[in-house]
Structure formats: C-alpha cells, structure tokens
C-alpha cells in the first residue's frame, strides 16, 4: 500500500494537534494561584465594572461586558485555592462564589437592557443557570441578600440570587420573542408554530417539534448531502489511478514523494480527464453550516418555552431524583441525551464515504477524534435538551440517507475530457435491459460506405 502524500499527512497532523490543544485548554489551562489577587480585590474590580455597565457611554458598557466574565473566572480560582488552603469554610465558599456570579449576571443584565441585546442577557442566564439548579430552594439562593451596585433603573441595593435569575429570564424571554435570528428569521415564532401543530402537549409536542424540524431541515439539504455522499464514492474509485501516479513519483528508499508539484499536477490531470473536481465535495458540507447556526439560535430563543416539554425519561420527577443528571425538561441539559448524540455521531462518521481509501483509517480516526472532542465539550456546554434531541434526529436521518446512498448503483467510471481538450465518447452496452459501460473510452470509427 502506498503511503499518503506529505501534504495529506501535514493536514491530518494539524487537525489532530488542534483537537489536542482544545482539550488541553479545556482541562489544564490554569494560571498559577500565586499570580491571582485576593478575593476582595477581585470583587472590588467586578463592582467597578458593574457600575460602568450603567454608564450612558456604550463603549464603556462593551468594555465591562468583555471583562466581567474573565474577572469571575479569576475570582472562582482564587476561592478554590483559598478553600484548599483552609482559609474558607464551605458555607463562606458558597456565598463568595454566588456573590461573584450574581454580580457578574447583574452587570450583564444591565448591559442587555440598555443595549437591547440578547447577547449579554444570554451570558447572564448561563452564569446563573448552574447555581439555580445546584442551590434551588437552599437559603443561600432564595434568602441570602447579596449587595449589588445600586441603580434605580434595574435593581434594589440588596437582592437574592433567585430574584436576579428571575429578572434575567424575564427580560431575555421578552427580547427573544421580538428579535429575529440573523436579522431575518422569526425563530421563536417558527418553533412555536411547530409545537402548536399538536396543541402544545407537554409530553409530546415539544419533542415532536424537534423531530419535525429535523425532518424539514434534512429535506432541504437532502440533494446537497446526496451529492456529497455520491461524490465521495466516485472519488474513491479514482484513487487506484492516483496511487499509480504516486508510485511513479515516490522515492523507493524514503517512501515519500520526490516531486510534490509534479505529483499534484498529474493527479489533477486524472481528475480533469474523468470530470471530477477534488474540492466539489466541500461545498455541500459547508452549505449546511448556516442551517446549523440558524436552528441553534431558534432553539435558544425558544429555550424557556421548552421548559414546559418532556421526553421519555426527561421529566421533573427523574430530574429531581437524579439531582440534575437527568434533565427535568427539554430546556435544560441532559447527559443521557448527550451520550446518545455522541453514539449517533460515531455511527454517522463511520458511514460517511472517504474520498481516499488509502487514507481511510486516518480519515476515520480524525473524524472520531473531532466527534469525541465535540461530544465532551457538550458535557460542559449548557445546551437545551431539545436542541440535542433535534441533532440526534438529524443524525438518524443522515444515517438513513447514507445507507440508501451506498445501495445506489454508481454510473460507470469513464473519461470525459481528452488531455488536449475535447470530449471522449463512451460506448454503452446493454445487459438485461440496463445500460452499463466498461468505463473505457472508445475511438471514433468511420462509417463504412455502402
């Protein structure tokens, strides 16, 4: 078996290094605790940013928005280090952490209201979503009053975490109903229409809306995906010819390509002769990205309505019994559903046609690595379960389409372009009424005179 070209090896190594870098940052990117200021100084800086968020100058508000989350992360690391050294009791640790989260959320809430922007409000919601579930009915969440920067337009000088959270959710929900996704699509109204098709039944309609949405989107991209799958199968049939060219340009001792430019030129000539563009499979894949972003934003706009929906094991009873491991509703993160999503992604990755059988193993490994990194990230990314369910349904439909594509007969491989220009005709033959071909170009023959 011939070895892959150096360029192919380089791109695979680069992608692998990128995935490993993301994992390292996710788990190990921690500054030295000795470089972190004391907790009281960090809190003082966060309160300054909170006061800055109320200023008339929009630039100052944007600066506060870009800085507040970083200060919160620094504060949490300082609190963890102090607790590890025995400087904080467990109760004090909880109160300090919550105070930082509430000050940050209140800052983002002010910015979101003044700018009429759902971005800061969404950040505020994510900041308090975990504590709202972790502490729920505990006194530290519903009774303990935290000092916030006073501003008569937004909040009282002292308030509880539950009150700040409710204020953020109320304002974000209001803006979600009014804002358009990407400035064009009424995302909230779109999902709401699908839910109301079956009378908004909590145990059925919300999950069924995710299924309908997956079916609708998959139907829209079906021709593009079909073209991508068939292109991959056709490209795989050309690889033996490319392998022969690689053998001619390969150094017998090192096994590497001696003249990479010459090899690429000859390979492109083969693709051109058979009428294939090696980059043609990229466009159908890239065109699906906007659909992903569109549906994701629509789901986010409807996330609070999804709190009314359930799905099989996703219900308030099991959610309470498992302390959040199972989501109480389709608006919150469910770990079992993420595992099912990961399995569906692995199946889809393994079934996706590879354009180069010689590098099939490497391509599969890279695909599985990307899938693993993305699935692990979802455990830390508070996605609504409804969106993950939509994605599972989408992967199921994609798998069905790929299995169908593998059963379709490919047209015979034949040259369509002559090296100097022009077109090669291919003489078809008939077998059992079906038109087939050998894939071998035939020469024009002059007609015999009668």
pLDDT of the chain, 450 residues: tens digit per residue: 444 444 444 445 555 566 556 555 544 555 455 577 888 898 889 888 888 888 888 888 888 888 888 888 888 888 888 888 888 888 888 888 888 999 999 889 988 888 888 888 988 988 888 888 778 778 888 888 888 887 767 666 668 888 888 888 888 889 888 888 877 888 888 888 999 888 888 889 899 999 998 898 888 888 877 777 777 777 777 777 777 777 777 776 776 776 677 777 777 777 777 666 666 656 666 767 777 788 888 888 888 888 888 888 888 888 878 876 788 888 888 888 888 888 888 887 777 665 555 555 666 677 677 777 777 777 777 778 888 898 889 888 888 888 887 777 777 666 665 555 444 454 444 444 444 444 444 444 444 444
d(CA 145, CA 159): 5
CB-based contacts of 235-241 (< 8 A; 24+ apart in sequence): 235/276, 235/278, 235/281, 235/355, 235/356, 236/353, 236/354, 236/355, 236/356, 236/357, 237/410, 237/413, 238/270, 238/271, 238/274, 238/276, 238/413, 239/355, 239/356, 239/357, 239/358, 241/270
d(CA 112, CA 101): 16
Helices (H), 116-204: 118-135, 139-142, 161-178, 187-196
Comparing C-alpha atoms, which of 399, 408, 374 is closest to residue 388?
374
**What is the reported pLDDT for 292?**
77
Partners of residue 257 on adjacent β-strands: 250
What distances in angstroms separate CA 325 from CA 313, 315, 320, 338, one per listed residue? Answer: 11, 12, 9, 11
Encode 127-162: b = buried (16+ Cβ within 10 Å), e = exposed. bbbebbbebeeeebbeebebebbeeeebbeeebbbb
What distances in angstroms separate CA 249 from CA 5, 34, 245, 269, one per listed residue? Answer: 10, 57, 7, 15
Token pair for 368: 């599985």
**What is the reported pLDDT for 438?**
42
d(CA 108, CA 129): 14
Bridging pattern class, strands 434-436 and 429-431:
antiparallel
Residue reference for tokens 């693709």: 271
Please indicate, yes or no, whether the overall pTM of this predicted structure exceeds 0.75: no
Compute the radius of gyration of the chain from its Cα atoms.
29
**How wide is the angle at C-alpha 399 spanned by C-alphas 394 and 405, nearest 5°?**
125
**What is the reported pLDDT for 157?**
63
Residue 308 near residue 329, CB atoms below 8 Å: yes
* DSSP single-letter state for residue 311: B
**What is the reported pLDDT for 14?**
55
d(CA 122, CA 431): 63
**What is the reported pLDDT for 338?**
87
Residue 212 near residue 154, CB atoms below 8 Å: no
d(CA 104, CA 161): 12
Comparing C-alpha atoms, which of 183, 124, 132 is closest to residue 162?
132
Residue 257 near residue 6, CB atoms below 8 Å: yes
What distances in angstroms separate CA 108 from CA 120, 126, 171, 223, 261, one per listed residue? Answer: 5, 11, 12, 43, 54
């Amino acid at each position: 078996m011939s070895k892959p070209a150096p360029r192919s090896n380089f791109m695979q190594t680069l992608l692998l290094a990128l995935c490993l870098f993301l994992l390292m940052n996710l788990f190990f990117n921690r500054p030295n605790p000795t470089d972190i200021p004391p907790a009281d100084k960090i809190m003082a800086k966060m309160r300054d940013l909170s006061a800055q968020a109320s200023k008339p100058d929009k630039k100052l508000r944007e600066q506060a928005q870009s800085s507040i989350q970083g200060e919160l992360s620094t504060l949490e690391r300082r609190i963890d280090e102090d607790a590890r050294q025995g400087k904080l009791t467990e109760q004090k640790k909880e109160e300090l952490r919550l105070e930082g989260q509430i000050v940050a959320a209140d800052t983002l809430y002010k910015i979101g209201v003044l700018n009429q922007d759902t971005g800061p409000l969404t950040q505020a919601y994510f900041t308090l979503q975990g504590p709202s579930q972790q502490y729920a009915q505990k006194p530290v969440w519903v009774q303990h009053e935290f000092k916030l920067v006073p501003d008569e337009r937004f909040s009282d000088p002292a308030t509880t975490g539950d009150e700040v959270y409710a204020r953020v959710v109320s304002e974000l929900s209001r803006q979600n109903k009014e804002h358009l996704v990407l400035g064009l699509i009424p995302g909230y109204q779109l999902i709401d229409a699908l839910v109301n098709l079956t009378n908004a039944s909590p145990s059925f309609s919300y999950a069924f809306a995710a299924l309908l949405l997956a079916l609708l989107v998959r139907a829209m991209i079906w021709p593009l995906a079909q073209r991508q799958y068939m292109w991959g199968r056709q490209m795989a049939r050309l690889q033996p010819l490319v392998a022969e060219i690689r053998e001619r340009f390969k150094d017998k001792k090192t096994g590497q390509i001696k003249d990479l430019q010459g090899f690429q030129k000859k390979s492109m000539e083969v693709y051109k002769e058979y009428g294939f563009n090696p980059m043609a499979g990229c466009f159908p894949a890239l065109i699906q990205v906007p659909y992903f972003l569109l549906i994701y934003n629509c789901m986010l706009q409807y996330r609070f309505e999804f709190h009314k929906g359930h799905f099989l094991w996703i219900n308030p009873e099991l959610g309470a019994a498992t302390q959040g491991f199972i989501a109480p509703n389709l608006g919150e993160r469910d770990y079992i559903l993420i595992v099912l999503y990961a399995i569906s992604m692995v199946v889809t990755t393994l079934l996706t046609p590879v354009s180069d059988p010689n590098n099939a193993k490497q391509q599969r490994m890279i695909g599985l690595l990307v899938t693993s990194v993305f699935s692990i990230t979802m455990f830390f990314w508070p996605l609504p379960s409804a969106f993950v369910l939509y994605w599972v349904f989408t992967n199921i439909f994609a798998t069905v389409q790929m299995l169908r594509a593998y059963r379709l007969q490919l047209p015979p491989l034949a040259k369509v372009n002559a090296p100097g220009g022009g077109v090669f005709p291919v003489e078809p033959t008939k077998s059992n009424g079906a038109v087939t071909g050998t894939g071998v170009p035939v020469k024009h023959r002059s007609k015999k005179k009668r």
